[in-house]
């Protein structure tokens, strides 16, 4: 502290001698201010503006890319969901188709079996009927023959008696 005071004293002495000193305010001040303002303007054109623009553009680029990526992710998830749903839907459809096919096949099979049974039944009945008819024809012929034979017998008997 003493040192500094003493320095100031020396300064004062010097100021008297040569017009210098620590606190020598002169035209340096305004010129320095002008110089500084010019520097600010120059740096604004050369440094702050272009680099600031780059920073802002990069921020925009990054955020837009991020938004884009988020959108794409959402879209991809949506598509995956849709795929899952479609897959489930298709599986269900396949199940129903299989079930329908089985049912139809069952139906066709049972129909076919029923038809065959009916036909068999019909054939059997027809054969039965034919058999019955032939039997009754045979019986009728037999009866006729029995009638004829019995008449011949009768005639023979009666003839012999008459004779």
Partner 1 sequence: MLTIHPLVLAKLEVGQHLYWQLGGLKLHGQVFLTSWFVIGALLLVSFLATRNIQRIPSGLQNFMEYALEFIRDLAKNQIGEKEYRPWVPFVGTLFLFIFVSNWSGALIPWKLIHLPAGELAAPTNDINTTVALALLTSLAYFYAGFSHRGLGYFAKYIEPTPILLPINILEDFTKPLSLSFRLFGNILADELVVAVLVLLVPLFVPLPVMVLGLFTSAIQALIFATLAAAYIGEAIEGHGGEEHE
> What is the smallest separation between the CB atom of 69 and partner 1, expressed in angstroms?
17
Position among 3, 160, 161, 163 found at the interface with partner 1 (CB under 8 A): 3
CB nearer partner 1, residue 41 or residue 157 = 41
Token look-up 């839907």 returns 89
Residue 15, classified by CB atoms within 10 Å of its CB into exposed (0-12), middle (13-18) or buried (19+), is: middle
Closer CB to partner 1, residue 23 or residue 163?
23
User: Is the CB of 61 or the CB of 83 nearer to partner 1?
Assistant: 61
Assess 9 for contact with partner 1 (CB under 8 A). Answer: no
Encoded one letter per residue, x for contact with partner 1 by CB under 8 A and - for no contact, window 41-70 reads xxxx-xxx-xxx-xx-xx--x---------
- What Rg, from alpha-carbon coordinates, does the chain have? 65
d(CA 156, CA 149): 10
Determine the interface stretch with partner 1 among 38-46, 79-87, 93-101, 124-132 (rule: CB under 8 A): 38-46
Structure tokens at 59: 């921020």
Considering the rule CB under 8 A, would residue 94 count as an interface residue with partner 1? Answer: no
Let me know: does 21 contact 14? Beta carbons within 8 Å.
Answer: yes
83 binds partner 1 (CB under 8 A): no
Q: Are 22 and 13 in contact (CB under 8 A)?
A: no
Judged on CB neighbours under 10 Å (0-12, 13-18, 19+), 14 is middle
Minimum Å distance from CB 72 to partner 1? Answer: 21
- In the complex, the residues that contact partner 1 under the rule CB under 8 A are 2-3, 6-7, 10-11, 14-15, 18-33, 35-37, 39-44, 46-48, 50-52, 54-55, 57-58, 61
């Amino acid at each position: 502290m003493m040192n500094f005071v003493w320095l100031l004293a020396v300064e004062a002495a010097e100021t008297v001698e040569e017009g210098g000193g620590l606190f020598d305010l002169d035209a340096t001040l305004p010129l320095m201010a002008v110089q500084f303002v010019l520097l600010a303007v120059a740096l604004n054109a050369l440094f702050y503006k272009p680099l600031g623009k780059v920073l802002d553009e990069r921020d925009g680029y990054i955020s837009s890319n991020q938004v884009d990526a988020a959108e794409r992710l959402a879209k991809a998830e949506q598509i995956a969901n849709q795929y899952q749903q479609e897959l489930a839907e298709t599986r269900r459809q396949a199940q129903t188709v299989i079930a329908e096919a089985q049912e139809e096949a069952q139906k066709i099979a049972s129909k076919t079996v029923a038809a065959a049974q009916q036909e068999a039944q019909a054939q059997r009945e027809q054969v039965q009927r034919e058999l019955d008819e032939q039997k009754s024809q045979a019986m009728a012929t037999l009866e006729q023959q029995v009638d004829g034979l019995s008449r011949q017998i009768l005639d023979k008997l009666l003839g012999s008696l008459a004779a």
